[in-house]
Chain A
Amino acid sequence: MLKAEGLAISMGGRELVRAFDLSLAPGECWALLGPNGSGKTSLILALAGLRSPQAGTIALAGASLGTYPRSEVARRIAVLFQDEETDFWGSAFDYVMLGRYPRSKSAWGADEEGAAAAHRCLAELDLSDRAGQAYRTLSGGERQRARIAQVLVQDAEILLLDEPLQHLDLRHQAQVMQMLSRCAADGKSVLAALHEPGHAALHCGFSVLLYDAGRARLGRSSDMLTQANLEALYQCRLEPAGTRSFLPS
């Protein structure tokens, strides 16, 4: 259980989040929605303990996040970052295995459980035949899937994902969302920043709406993702897409 209370986050003199409360309970899948620059990434970094908020507390299993050693946090919280600048020379499989660092410290010991998990994740994300290929030579979408696999093999109870669907084609967007809701069904807590309310409505039981100027609303997706709320959130008129738009079943 990850619990934030009275959180305030500013960035570059702009207030992103004010008096924000959120608790991620086991079994819950949360969507984090908001326009560009509304503070989704900053909120995720704060919840992961990587940036200090201006005010408020974050508690992991009842104790302040700051009191845990980094290695302990890494076994409990896994983070998918939005950007990555990496010059990784190994294969896609080697790349995914880096996510096992918190669980296997030795450089030499064979982590058979981790290798099995990595192969399983790669298979679920349709990357089995890319496993031996150099990570650098993968396409943008394939890399994104390898990055998600790396987060999943970390086997943390809380998953914080910043735009997990970026670069993914329609089928793999649905596949990743199904994997995330399955993680939640297995007892993990999931929070994913998304740009497509349709995915949130289908796969996430709960949603956070981050407005400009530090306002936020959160609750059940069925209550949150109404046309009026989304119009106010994205500051534009919306209409039901009806039969002209498709999401994979």
Chain B
Amino acid sequence: MKPVPVLVVALVPASLALAIAFGSVHLGAAQLTDALLGRGDEIAREIVWGVRAPRALAAFACGGLLALAGALLQVLLRNPLADPTILGVSGGAATGALAAMLLGVGAAGLNLAALAGASIAAGAVFAFSLGRSGWNPYRVLLTGVALASGFGALVGMMLSLAPSLQVQGMLFWLLGDLSPARDPSAALVVLAACAALAFSQSAALDVLILGEDKARSLGIAVKRLQTIAFGCATLATVAAVLLGGSIGFVGLVVPHLLRLSGVHRHALLLPLAACLGGSLLALADTLARTVAAPAELPVGVVTAMIGVPVLLFLLARLR
């Protein structure tokens, strides 16, 4: 076995264990074991099973979805700097979510508004980029960038209009924050479905790297492949954004980390990106919960603090 896949897979239980072991409340080793086995102190059990485990899984699902979307978009747009924010979906979701906060609707309304915003953005990207012969990567990029700056302006407007009490919640949402994430099950289902669907196309995605015409000449229905992969990336991004807001850098950096470690075939790259993205976000969220405890940092701040130097290092190496 090669070391990289084994390490990445082993990181999954390790990161989840760490995310459950650490938090703002200190639990000893014995207390943790008891609580995990469903014994002992009720408060400890509630902390482990009611708070930390769902939060760890939410972080894992969110990171996995973002890294999967990033890996797909980087091959589809043939642009190493593509990441899920490029679709404009995060901007759309943010606009919807902030509008809901401004109007003072509840959590369900907020999620619905975020979903509506994300769907409008995704629909616009689909409508402007899908031509007769297939997807035009440049149009996807330009549409995404245009939408993102438009949504950015709307977000700025709402931030300046919002009463100061609401602004902090809005900022957390914009920076990416997993503290409102209670139920990771939907996101985990989307992660499994998207990963399976993308995995089924992995051999064709390997060939798509050669360019659209070459892929066609090798027998690939390019438009269909692109539609499936774009659909997957969009769905994954929407699910991640609904759960954790606009968390940056996971989708951009994780696929590159794997490629630089010698993983390039999509049959391996896609599942490993999901595993590594999930593990890294679970670890980043553990940091976000503990470094300034009992206060919490938005996890997006942590991923950016780690992601920016990693990205700069990668760029220096790629030169």
Chain A residues engaging chain B, CB cutoff 8 angstroms: 45, 48, 50, 70-75, 77-79, 81, 84-90, 94, 98-99, 101-102, 105-108, 154
Contacts and interface: CB of A to CB of B under 8 A. Distances in A.
Contacts of A154: 218
B245 to A, nearest CB: 30
B98 to A, nearest CB: 36
B134 to A, nearest CB: 12
Contact of B209 (A72, A87, A106): A87
B213 A50 contact: yes
Nearest to A84: B211
B264 A90 contact: yes
Contacts of B264: 88-90, 94
Contact of A77 (B202, B217, B220): B217
B4 interface: no
A110 B216 CA distance: 23
Which of B213, B220, B265: most chain A CB closer than 10 A?
B213
Contacts, number: 68
A86 B209 contact: yes
Contacts of B202: 107
Given A81-B214, A90-B265, A108-B267, A102 B219 contact: yes
A99 B80 contact: no
Interface string B198-233: 000011101101110110111111000000000000
A75 B217 CA distance: 9
A85 B207 CA distance: 13
A118 to B, nearest CB: 15
By Cβ-Cβ distance, the 6 closest A-B pairs, closest first, are A74-B219, A89-B264, A71-B219, A107-B267, A107-B203, A79-B217
B221 A101 contact: no
B78 interface: yes
Given A50-B213, A98-B218, A106-B203, 12 more contacts: A70-B219, A70-B221, A74-B217, A74-B218, A81-B213, A81-B214, A85-B78, A87-B78, A87-B209, A94-B264, A101-B207, A101-B220
Contacts of A94: 264-265
B39 interface: no
Contacts of B203: 101, 105-107
Contacts of A81: 211, 213-214, 217
Q: Tell me if A's interface is mostly helix, strand, loop or mixed.
A: loop
27 contacts: A50-B217, A71-B219, A73-B219, A74-B217, A74-B218, A77-B217, A79-B213, A84-B210, A84-B214, A85-B78, A87-B209, A88-B210, A88-B264, A90-B264, A90-B265, A94-B265, A98-B207, A98-B210, A98-B218, A99-B218, A101-B207, A101-B218, A101-B219, A105-B203, A106-B203, A107-B267, A154-B218
Interface string B66-102: 0000000000001010000000000000000000000
A78 B217 contact: yes
**Which interface class (under 10, 10 to 19, 20 to 34, 35 or more) fits B?**
20 to 34
Contacts of A86: 209-211
A94 B217 CA distance: 18
Contacts of B259: 89
Nearest to B204: A101
A70 B216 contact: yes
Interface string B173-211: 000000000000000000000000000001110110111
Contacts of A45: 213
Nearest to A91: B264
A75 B214 contact: no
B229 to A, nearest CB: 15
A85 B214 CA distance: 11
A45 B211 CA distance: 14
A107 B210 CA distance: 17
Nearest to A104: B203
B214 A79 contact: yes
A87 B202 CA distance: 16
A77 B211 CA distance: 17
Interface centre among A78, A89, A102 (most CB of B within 10 A): A89
B280 to A, nearest CB: 21
Contacts of A89: 259, 264
A94 B219 CA distance: 18
A88 B265 CA distance: 10
Contacts of B219: 70-75, 101-102
A48 B215 CA distance: 12
Nearest to A77: B217
Contacts of A87: 78, 80, 209
Nearest to A51: B213
A71 B207 CA distance: 13
